[in-house]
Structure 1
Amino acid sequence: MKVLVIDDEQTVLMPINKRLEELGYQVCTTPDAIDGILLFDSFKPNLVIVDINMPEISGIEFINHIRIKKNESLPIIVLSGNTEDDVIKEAFKLGINDYIKKPICLDDICSRIKRLNIFFQTH
């Protein structure tokens, strides 16, 4: 499975990248959502993990691009320190599959990815 991870914090990207690669996933990371859009087209991920608060364009704008402009239904997990109800509701309205609050727990992220992977393989 190919996973695209977009987060402007290297302290988040590096451990996620390492753990997912150890589990056998092919991982592509970027600290920038604009680059994430370009990587989405070239890398063709099966899953996206994206932060909400980023410079240039937000994770919400990235999700909107994937869901509305690209009409893609692949699983999206938001990983963010943003706990504002309106932001979380907007992300779910756009069709995200999960919302994980920072600080990260790698075991939690991995188990949620596995659960989503099983779900999408059987439906």
Structure 2
Amino acid sequence: MKVLIVDNERHILMSLGRCLSDLGYDIECCDNAIDAKQSYEAFRPDLLIADISLPVAYSVVPFINKSRGNTAGLELLKYIRLIKKESTPVMVVSCHSDEGVFNKSFELGVNDYAKMPLSISEIEARVKRLTGSTGLCLN
């Protein structure tokens, strides 16, 4: 199974990537919405784990609504659900406490929403549920 992890925090990418790799997942990581869109197209993940607060890497990005501020992760979700019309499971990880962002995530079809800070064991359990897999994370 392939998992695409998108977060602008390098330590989160490294921790999640290592844990899920140890569980046997094929992992790809991105730190911005543009690279995530390209990786999503090329990698074709079975699960997407994405932060809502993602930077936009380029100045002209047709699928990103720049008026949304630092919620490019929502725009990535819109791209997958509304433009591509795909049902790839998506788990959002975010420190956003804005109830509107939380609600919009679920309106766009997110399968799970975890608020930071996160424990690796919590992520492991959620990924197993979303992918139907088993195994132990060896940290």
TM tier relative to shorter chain? over 0.9
Query: Identity of paired residues, percent?
Result: 39
Question: Which consecutive unaligned segments of at least 5 residues does structure 2 have?
Answer: 57-63, 65-71, 134-139
Matched residue, 1:5: 5
Q: Does 1:84 align with 2:91?
A: no
SS in 1 for 2:91: strand
Instruction: Specify every segment of 5 or more residues in structure 1 that has no aligned partner in the other structure, as ranges.
Output: none
Who is 2:128 aligned against?
114
TM-score (ref. length: structure 2) = 0.83
Structure 1 Cα separation of the partners of residues 126 and 47 of structure 2:
11
SS in 2 for 1:49: strand
Give the corresponding residue for 1:48: 48
Superposed CA deviations along residues 13-62 of structure 1, whole A, max 9, x for unmatched, are 00000000000000000101100000001000000000011111510000
Q: Counterparts of 2:19 and 2:123 in 1: how far apart (Å)? A: 10
The TM-score, its normalising length taken from structure 1, stands at 0.94
Count residues with an aligned counterpart.
119
2:83 corresponds in structure 1 to: 69
**CA–CA separation in structure 2 for the residues paired with 1:78 and 1:64:** 13
Distance 1:104 1:7 in 2: 13
